[in-house]
Structure 1
């Protein structure tokens, strides 16, 4: 599709595209030499002055070059950006890595890791588990006289397996008793969190080795429940490598926010009210920490609500990355629907 733009819009478009490409201020001479314009340098300079007065571009220092403001980039994205088709390599990677046979947790992990590997930016995925997680099976398997393997399977097919190291040898009667207590607390399709509470009550009434074993199991179950309800964040180290990060200390606040992303997830939750990709550009987020970054986010499931996001510096290749986030969300949605439809 060919865009019909006024001269100021075309000049803004060229400035934004060049800035997103190399991050350098764009001079009037560079623009005047562009064959799309066919106007004099004086005309370009006058138009750039008007764009600056409108708050769409600014001068980062005393040079003649200009860079776009957040408002300028927003206008470019809303009116002038032409999204590019997904590359065959990226599409093949999505098809190969995100398959419906994977348990939900592993599917979410694969999506986040793949997104950051393909882009070099930070990927954020909703917590794999929603409230009301159901335990389908729990078992203790002897590995040695003083070591046991704890195995717990939930309703999504995700498996928790942890080796429990004991201070003394465990006889068969103790192992059988502990396993019976675990099934009483967590078996029969009960909710994970409720089972943890029941197990805590049972543990307090036991003594000696049984109590020690139950305490170890309780610790592993509680830790897994906490981890499964935390957002997944991948590629924080990639942010450290960007030139923008090294030149702007404010971006270091983003790292602190990613360590405790609850506020960010609440923000993303409010903007993902449909199945279209959304873009938060700098200060639009309302968070000071995000004033120098952009976030592309897309909901991929409604019940429970799950989303996937890509966070990076404002100088992103939006034409390629918005379709990638959209395609990743679509693939996740397709796989989750297939899982639910399977017997």
Structure 2
């Protein structure tokens, strides 16, 4: 084993012990807990070299060392592969998520599950609107001057909109409206459907225009909304424990979690489903997240990215376990959303 490989084994042991105990790690405890196959003096020399290179640091005046952001980065980069979850864990995730009744339920279950599996804060992004298509539009008459429009997308999203009319609903108007939605909206990407509806509504018979035009306007509002700018968050209470010894950092983390724009920017770096991305400490642009690690993955169908999900925790997190959980949940969410 080369000196570099041996030093990495020492770094890996320091990361493991610090994540487990939250206490700085000394050479004596490394000798006692890990079979590193070298003398205590060699371990002390390796720790000194790791400190010189910026991979570990000495907090305060304690004898122990803790990993730096650079040390965690090397540790994560050298994980040759993410350890898969056990068959039992995978079955449990699949069973829990497959019981979801709709997209909203899938997303809520997935973040709750991620937060429980990792004991960290988890969040998931709604499927990106630009890649969704209209699967069905239902028109329901509520009373003489009110309609309910129900839009279902191929990603399983359900939008309901109320239409208030100035004139009574007529059979001719309803038929014209349903025909218009079926021909101009169903089967099209949301942006294309919006354009087609706008064009088609301009040419409808004047007799049905008082019903069709306001209904189309309401539907357009649901098509041009951006649900991908919405997030579902779970496990915020875990942050309190994770940063209990750093109240100043905790305030910043909670502030960042409150800012959906910040979290969405972090997910914007995702390019394909199934690749797990880890950003550590100062690699996060937001100063409020300088004490955090973010483990994220995209979900979708094949190479089509529909959205992203992530776990946020302190830099001293269980990286292999968190990466495995994020990847597994992202995979199942993608399968369920793509299959709806």
Residue of structure 2 aligned with 1:180, choices 167, 176, 182: 176
Q: 1:310 is matched with which residue?
A: 311
| Mean CA deviation greater in 289-298 or 312-321 | 289-298
Give the distance between the partners of 1:54 and 1:39, measured in 2 at CA. 21
Contact 2:274 2:297 in 1 (8 A): yes
Question: What is the SS of the residue equivalent to 2:90?
Answer: helix
Provide the alpha-carbon RMSD of the alignment. Answer: 4.3
Residue 322 of structure 1: CA displacement?
1.6
> TM-score, structure 2 length as denominator?
0.74
| C-alpha distance 19-122 of structure 1, shift in aligned 2 (>3 A) | same
Contact 2:55 2:70 in 1 (8 A): yes
Contact 1:240 1:246 in 2 (8 A): no
Give the distance between the partners of 2:149 and 2:181, measured in 1 at CA. 15
Residue 127 of structure 1: CA displacement?
3.7
Question: What is the SS of the residue equivalent to 1:180?
Answer: helix
Q: 1:322 is matched with which residue?
A: 323
Q: 2:130 is matched with which residue?
A: 131
Contact 1:81 1:319 in 2 (8 A): no
Contact 1:295 1:312 in 2 (8 A): yes
Residue 80 of structure 1: CA displacement?
5.9
Residue 53 of structure 1: CA displacement?
0.8
The C-alpha deviation readout for 1:176-225, integer Å capped at 9, x for no partner, is: 5266346436744255445546767859x999xx8699657744652464
Note if 1:57 corresponds to 2:56. Answer: yes
The C-alpha deviation readout for 1:233-257, integer Å capped at 9, x for no partner, is: 4226246424326351443453255
Contact 2:144 2:169 in 1 (8 A): no
- How does 1:1-343 map onto structure 2 within 5 Å? 6-34=5-33, 36-37=35-36, 43-79=42-78, 83-99=82-98, 107-108=106-107, 110-131=109-130, 133-144=132-143, 148-156=147-155, 158-162=157-161, 164=162, 171-173=168-170, 177=173, 180-181=176-177, 183-184=179-180, 187-188=183-184, 189=186, 190-196=188-194, 215=214, 218-219=217-218, 222-223=221-222, 225-230=224-229, 232-235=231-234, 237-238=236-237, 240-244=239-243, 246-248=247-249, 249-252=251-254, 254-269=256-271, 272=272, 275-301=274-300, 302-306=302-306, 307-335=308-336, 339=339
Question: What is the SS of the residue equivalent to 1:131?
Answer: helix
> TM-score, structure 1 length as denominator?
0.74
Question: What is the SS of the residue equivalent to 1:63?
Answer: coil
Residue 131 of structure 1: CA displacement?
2.0
Contact 1:250 1:292 in 2 (8 A): no
Contact 1:19 1:67 in 2 (8 A): yes
For structure 2, the residue ranges without an aligned partner over 5 or more in a row are none
Give the distance between the partners of 2:28 and 2:189, measured in 1 at CA. 67
Give the distance between the partners of 2:70 and 2:58, measured in 1 at CA. 14
